[in-house]
Amino acid sequence: MPATGENLCPACSGKGKGKGKADGDACPECNGTGKVTTGIGGG
């Protein structure tokens, strides 16, 4: 099982709002959480 880690969303810089979106519109990449789960380490 690959290792994963929680990181700031690169699309919204951890703000939870989509780039150029009005207040209240959630970022589509992180669903408004400001965090994404990504794989870490090598093969």
3-state secondary structure string, the chain? Answer: CCCEEEEECCCCCCCCECCCCCCCCECCCCCCCCEEEEECCCC
* 1-27 per-position pLDDT tens digit: 568 999 999 999 999 987 655 566 899
pLDDT of residue 40: 85
pLDDT at residue 14, as a whole number: 93
- Mean pLDDT value of segment 15-40: 84
Asked if 14 and 35 touch (Cβ cutoff 8 Å), the reply is yes
